[in-house]
Copies of this chain bind each other. A is one copy, B any other.
């Protein structure tokens, strides 16, 4: 984890955006010895059904908890994609719910990863865990936080009765992301900046 990493997760209400942000913050702080903040704003855009959370990870206490230019942007709706992509840091990581976001060009310099998180969640029989699928995928492709820490934070953040389902969702997302990274490495661009990219 670098000194300060800014993350924004955005989508629409009901996708569990806050919980996914809280899991990432908790994983960094509880299980890796770092600091994290999670901030959610509610305003006119929230009234329109949008949901967005900001997470900052740091090796030191965080004085200013507002994200200005995310290093990592996770978008789970077309509207979130349109609104937040311009803020992504050059060379940053853009993670898309690939069935919910349609676009034919990506921001130059971004490393873009697509995941059908909703569909993967539906395969587990509960669409509602798409946010935890997304956390797993996030873990595999960003490598910001150890998989074990994220997994423990998932277990720690959901009701006992839903723990097994959520851990399955995490594993499913993580595996999908790990495979995406393997395929990308085989294509010789694992670490490269990809100006355009079809979904993996």
Contact = CB atoms under 8 A, between A and B. Distances in A.
A121 interface: no
Interface in A4-24: 13, 18, 22
Contact of A37 (B25, B41, B128): B41
Oligomeric state, in copies = 2
Contacts of A62: 41
Contact of A47 (B30, B39, B41, B159): B30
A66 interface: yes
Interface in A148-174: 156, 159
Contact of A38 (B42, B47, B128): B42
A108 interface: no
A63 to B, nearest CB: 9
A36 interface: yes
Interface of A is mostly: mixed
Q: Which of A35, A39, A64, A159 has the most CB of B within 10 A?
A: A39
Contact of A26 (B22, B37, B46): B46
A37 B28 contact: no
A195 interface: no
Interface in A42-70: 42-43, 46-47, 61-62, 64-66
A148 to B, nearest CB: 16
27 contacts: A18-B18, A18-B22, A22-B40, A25-B40, A25-B42, A26-B42, A29-B42, A29-B43, A29-B46, A29-B47, A30-B46, A30-B47, A35-B42, A35-B43, A36-B41, A36-B42, A36-B43, A37-B39, A37-B40, A37-B41, A38-B40, A38-B42, A39-B65, A41-B65, A43-B61, A64-B66, A128-B159
